[in-house]
Amino acid sequence: MKVNILKSICRFFFLEDLSKIVNECSNRRASKEGFYSCFDSFSSSASFPATVAIRLSPDSLLLGRHIVIVVCARLPRNKLRMDCEENVGKESLVLIKQGAEARVFESTFVGRRSIVKERFSKKYRHPILDVKLTLKRLNAEARCMTKARKLGVCTPVLYAVDPLLHSLTLEYIEGVSVKDVFLEFGANGIVEERLDDIAAQIGEAIAKLHDGGLSHGDLTTSNMLVRSGTNQLVLIDFGLSFTSTLPEDKAVDLYVLERALLSMHSSCGNVMDRILTAYRKSSKQWSATFNKLAQVRQRGRKRTMIG
């Protein structure tokens, strides 16, 4: 497959960084091992937002459920097919969680531990409409996650987008959820400095999203991970994310988080105040957002009173 065709596929799926790998592989006249080397060098970069596996072609490697586009013209096609057959069956999917919109599996991708998020069809919808909506939401999630990473927010690396199986393949994050950390604080107590550090990271990450015109849509402590070793905050699950510069949408984002903290982590004290303090320090547009947040809180109280 020609380089310009690969680039056009990348642009269509909003994952333009694959072109860097394609160019590098072409320059090196890469073999399969050369492609893996390029893949490793780009995906380990802090600024690397995504690489993509799309659909079967004569120059593709089939790895389990994923199709990785490879530039390896120097490799005999029959050997390529043979290597593919050896890899098929070694990939496994272990169900971790199932929600209303998707299933989450643990798997491997190009020898790396990974997460596969598969959006399943809704039987009550017309099949054609269902496919269109599912694909639209899949692409929207990939775009928002990529944009968040470009804004400086730590998210899992997006390895692959499969529009046929409606799945995303993501980096596996070694660590625990912020929910578990806060519950541990309530049950056994943790170091106060660690709570302050996590709250500050949450506030800074949300501020970067909002200043960049992105709302997460589902800010709960279950959708935040703390990476083992570095204690770095990682935001996950951008399935409800959308682009918006409206203070109202930013305020609702913060209000959703506030309600989640009050319902699940009341024993953590004023952790929301610490998050808002960090948000205020990091955001250039905090004033308009905080004014709207006060209004959203009032609406929420009225709704609670009325029932």
Q: Which of 110-114, 196-200, 290-294 has the lowest mean pLDDT?
A: 110-114
Tell whether 230 and 199 lie within a shared domain: yes
Mean pLDDT to the nearest integer, 184-195:
72
The C-alpha atoms of residue 286 and residue 171 are separated, in whole angstroms, by 32
Catalytic one among 218, 249, 253, 273?
Answer: 218
Is 218 labeled as catalytic in the residue annotation?
yes
Query: What is the mean pLDDT of the segment spanning 51-73?
Result: 34
pLDDT score, position 43 = 47
Distance CA 163, CA 53 (A): 9
Q: What is the pLDDT of residue 192?
A: 79
Residue 305: inside a domain = no
Does 135 lie in the same domain as 115?
yes
Per-residue pLDDT at 17 exceeds 50:
no
Domain count, the chain: 3
The chain-wide mean pLDDT, for the chain, equals: 76
Last residue of a domain, one of 126, 156, 171: 171
What is the domain-level CATH number for residue 121? 3.30.200.20
- Whether residues 24 and 113 share a domain: the answer is no
How far apart (Å, rounded) are the C-alpha atoms in residues 121 and 188?
42
pLDDT tens-digit readout, 71-125: 333 333 343 333 434 444 445 789 999 988 899 999 999 888 999 999 998 989 9
Residues 53 and 101 in one domain: no
Same domain, 189 and 159: no
pLDDT score of 152:
96
Entry pTM: 0.70
Average confidence (pLDDT) over 63-68: 34
DSSP string of 88-143?
Answer: TTT---EEEEE-SSEEEEEEEETTEEEEEEEEPPPTTS-HHHHHHHHHHHHHHHHH
Grade residue 132 by pLDDT with cuts at 50, 70 and 90. very high
Could you list the residue range(s) of the whole structural domain that residue 165 is in?
A: 94-171
| Segment among 51-55, 131-135, 207-211 with least mean pLDDT | 51-55
Closest by Cα among 59, 63, 104, 65 to 79: 59
Give the model's pLDDT for residue 149. Answer: 95
pLDDT for residue 236 is more than 50: yes
Q: Indicate whether 85 belongs to any domain.
A: no
Question: What is the pLDDT, as a whole number, of residue 185?
Answer: 73
Angle at 142 between CA 30 and CA 135, to 5 degrees: 105
The answer to whether residues 181 and 284 belong to one domain is yes
Residue 51 CA, distance from chain mean position? 13
Grouping H, G, I as helix, E, B as strand and the rest as coil, residue 171 is: strand
On whether both 184 and 157 belong to a single domain, the answer is no
List, for residues 211-226, the tens digit of each pLDDT value: 999 999 999 999 999 9
Q: Is the pLDDT of residue 194 over 50?
A: yes
Residue 5 has a CB neighbour count (10 Å cut-off) of 12
